[in-house]
Structure formats: C-alpha cells, structure tokens
Amino acid sequence: MSKLKLREEKNCLNCGTEVTDRFCPHCGQENIINRPSFSYLFKEFFNSLVHFDGHFWTTIRVLLFKPGFLVNNYLEGKRKSFVPPVKLYIFVSLVAFLLPGLPSGSTDSGENEGYTINIGEDSDQDAGDSINPKDIESLALLDSIQNALPADKKIDPKTIEYINERISHPEKKDSLDKAYAEYVEDFNASKSLIYFDNYPEYKAAKTIREFDSIHNSLPKSKRMGWMMLPFYKKGIELNENKEMTNDEFARRFQESFVHNFPRVLIFYLPVFAFVLWVFHGKKKWKFYDHGIFTLYFFSFLLMLISLWILIDRLLSIPEIWFPNFAKVSGFITALLMVACVFYSIFYFFRSHSRIYKESKLVSRLKSFLILSVNIWLFFFMLLGFTILTFLMM
C-alpha cells in the first residue's frame, strides 16, 4: 500500500466503480492521486522490488548464510516472510549489471610521462612530446629523454644502441637504419593482435583488403578454415585501425568476460534447472522445484559477485593517494575471490543436501557430478558469449 493521499473523488479511475474505501471493490486499484512527483516513480519501483518492510534484508541475510532454507520455505508454501525468487533474482541481477560500471579508485594520471619514443619508420609526429629515434642527434639529449621517462616507459636497449651508433658513426647511418628497420618490423609484429605462424601465406596481409585478396588467391587446400577466419580478420581490422595494443586487447577481453557473466547467467538458468531435473526422480520432483532452487542459487552467486566487486572498488580508493597500496588491495581481492569460489562450492553441496534430503554419500556424489557438468557447460557458454563480444568490438 502506497503512502500517497487518497483522491477526493469516489469513482475508480480504472473501471469507474464507486470506491468507498482505499481500494476499488471491483478491480482492486488504489484510489490515490494519479499524478504524484517524478521521484515517486523511482521510489515505487525500488520499493516494489525490495519490499522495504524488512523482508528484503532478511531475505539477503538468509540467502547468504543459510543454504537451502529459502528454497525449502518456498516449496512448503511459506511465501510471505521472504522476497519471492523471481523478484529477488531480478533485483540482484540488476545490481550485478550495474556494479562493474563503477569507477575504480586507481587511475593512470599520466603525470611525469615526459617524452615517448616512436619506434618505427611511420611513426606519427603529432603525439605531444613523442620523438623519433632518428631525431636524437646528441648523447645529452638521449640522456635527458631517458631520465624524463617513467620506469615502465624507458627506451629499450636495442634502440639506445642504435641511437649511440648513429651518433658515433654518422657514416654508417644507412646500414644502421636498415638493421634498425628490421628490428622495428619484428617489434611491430610482436605488438600485433594476431600471429600468422600457422598460416605463413597470409603473413603479408596488413589490411582487410589484402587479407581477402590473399585468401581468394589461395587454393582451397591452403586457405584458412572457416572457424579461424573471422578471428584473424577481426585482429587485422583492429591492427589496421590502431584501436588497441596487445595489452589493451587483453584488458578489454577480460572486461568483456567479467561483464558477460551476469548476462550468461540469465540464459543459463533453464540449463542448470534441466541438469538438476536429469539427476533427480521425476515423480517426486517437478521441473518447477528445480527452477526455484536454481533462481535462489543464482541469486546467491550474483549477490556474492556483487559484494566482491563492491569490496574491490572500495579497496582501490586508497590507491589514488597511495599507489603502492595496489599490491595490497590486489592480494586481498584475489584472496576474497578464492574464498568466494570455495564458499560457493560448499553452499551448493549444503543446499543440495538440505533440499533433496538424500543420504550423504548419494547427495555428495550427485552434487559433485551436477556441479562438474554445469561448470563445463557454463564455461563454454560464457566463452561463446565472450568470443561473440570480441567479434562485435
């Protein structure tokens, strides 16, 4: 029941029936003012989700620390004391979707970057203080640049050797430039998102057009298989557009993997329930029962993931003022992740035992098999979603 004022009029806005009390006796609609404040929309949505009458927080506490309790209660018909499984899952999944978008406390401020060295013949000279190795014509300038660079961006030994030799022996510039160009080519290849070691015929391809031309000119026996083709073409596209480095690609791929986790859970719900159905008696247990167990268990997993992400973000805040704290926070979050994994396994075993009430040996054996099958199925589904996300980058 809302806290909004009642209308002075006694006709129901929905069906027109006369209303003598707060609710219409015909359709049940509440006879309140129909144009409240804008903030009311959000309050109504949130309150309808979490039941701010104590049910929500009690449900979360029981969900996290009493495996199987909510499922048994619901299947026994005790459904008013706790948030229903569907509503709980919707709310928890919404939180899990939003939390990864929270900013991390650790930032790359870019301070004290100094000069950056452009390695390569085709380096653009419009990147602030970037400088081509060929433009360094004195050892004093080299030392100045090297000292200005942060520890993780120092000039590599091979480039320093090339600059020193070029300054000391200007008559050898042509041969030094040629040797250095080969080094640059190898360096650029190492930074590429793709490697053609298994497909040497495609190695000369630098653009999508060149790749397609080479592919069409090859006999069918030497062409790249249809499974690998989209991945290599996507890698060339990213290299061609210079959208990301190897490290950036790894970071975005990892983010994609993490962000897809809650999404895949939604699609995996019926699969998990089906595996439970396969392993249990069809007369005693309905698919509906397995569905209730699945909803509560997945709500637990999402709640655990949400708490871990929240703690990770909170621990990253001190890194703004104390960069060295990153190692400590990284260790703590890694430790928490391991703890969450083990607790999830324990939680499933305990829930399964309390819900299906089989002997310890049978329950543990079934739990192990169910968990093993689901881990593999879920991993491949998550991997498929992540690959799809990569191809759509």
pLDDT in tens, 205-246: 778 888 888 888 888 878 887 777 787 777 777 766 655 566
The least confident of 242-251, 264-273, 280-289 is 242-251
With a pLDDT cut of 90, the percent of the chain lying above it is: 26
Domain identity same for 47 and 20: no
Domain identity same for 249 and 107: yes
203 inside domain: yes
Angle at 164 between CA 159 and CA 167, to 5 degrees: 125
Q: What is the distance between the alpha carbons of residues 88 and 79, in angstroms, rounded to a whole number?
A: 13
DSSP, residue by residue, 291-317: HHHHHHHHHHHHHHHHHHHHHHHHHHG
Which residues, other chains included, contact 294 with Cβ-Cβ below 8 Å and sequence gap of 6+? 269, 272, 273, 276
Q: How many CA atoms lie within 13 A of 311 on its CB side?
A: 16
Q: Which domain holds residue 361?
A: 41-111+245-393
Q: What is the pLDDT of residues 42-89, one digit of tens each?
A: 666 666 655 555 688 889 999 999 999 999 999 998 888 888 899 899
Q: What is the model's pLDDT at position 174? A: 84
116 inside domain: no
Is residue 359 predicted with pLDDT exceeding 90? yes
Greater model confidence, 374 or 264: 374
The least confident of 5-9, 167-171, 314-318 is 5-9
Q: Where are the alpha helices (DSSP H) in 129-245?
A: 139-148, 157-168, 173-190, 208-217, 229-241
Domain total of the chain: 3
pTM, entire model: 0.64
What's the token pair of residue 16? 């027109």
Q: What is the model's pLDDT at position 108? A: 46
Domain identity same for 278 and 366: yes
Domain identity same for 231 and 294: no
Radius of gyration of the chain, Cα coordinates, nearest whole angstrom: 31
Domain identity same for 365 and 216: no
Q: What is the model's pLDDT at position 212? A: 84
Which of 243, 269, 301 is at the close of a domain? 243
The answer to whether residues 97 and 262 touch, using CB atoms and an 8 Å cutoff, is yes
pLDDT band at 128 (very low <50, low <70, confident <90, very high): very low
292 inside domain: yes
Return the axis-axis angle of helices 208-217 and 229-241, rounded to nearest 10°: 150
Q: What is the distance between the alpha carbons of residues 62 and 68, in angstroms, rounded to a whole number?
A: 9
Domain identity same for 342 and 383: yes
165 inside domain: no
Nearest to 70 by CA among 378, 387, 365, 351: 351
Dmax over CA atoms of the chain, in Å, equals 104
Domain identity same for 223 and 263: no
Domain identity same for 385 and 254: yes
Is residue 127 predicted with pLDDT exceeding 50? no
76 inside domain: yes
Q: What is the pLDDT of residues 283-313, one digit of tens each?
A: 889 999 999 999 999 999 999 999 998 998 8
Nearest to 275 by CA among 145, 154, 373: 373
Domain identity same for 228 and 310: no
Domain identity same for 239 and 253: no
The answer to whether residues 14 and 24 touch, using CB atoms and an 8 Å cutoff, is yes
17 inside domain: yes
Domain identity same for 378 and 287: yes
The residue written with tokens 């009311």 in the block is 40
DSSP state of 90: H
The dihedral over CA atoms of 232, 379, 104, 46, expressed in degrees to the nearest 10, equals: 120
Q: What is the distance between the alpha carbons of residues 8 and 31, in angstroms, rounded to a whole number?
A: 9
Which residues, other chains included, contact 134 with Cβ-Cβ below 8 Å and sequence gap of 6+? 166, 177
Among 262-271, 280-289, 337-346, the range of highest mean pLDDT: 337-346
The residue written with tokens 């806005």 in the block is 13
Q: What is the pLDDT of residues 135-169, one digit of tens each?
A: 787 888 878 887 877 766 778 788 888 888 888 88
Q: What is the distance between the alpha carbons of residues 326 and 81, in angstroms, rounded to a whole number?
A: 43
With a pLDDT cut of 70, the percent of the chain lying above it is: 74
Domain identity same for 284 and 226: no
Q: What is the model's pLDDT at position 42? A: 65
Q: What is the model's pLDDT at position 112? A: 40
Is residue 175 predicted with pLDDT exceeding 50? yes
The answer to whether residues 352 and 363 touch, using CB atoms and an 8 Å cutoff, is yes
The least confident of 38-47, 113-122, 179-188, 285-294 is 113-122
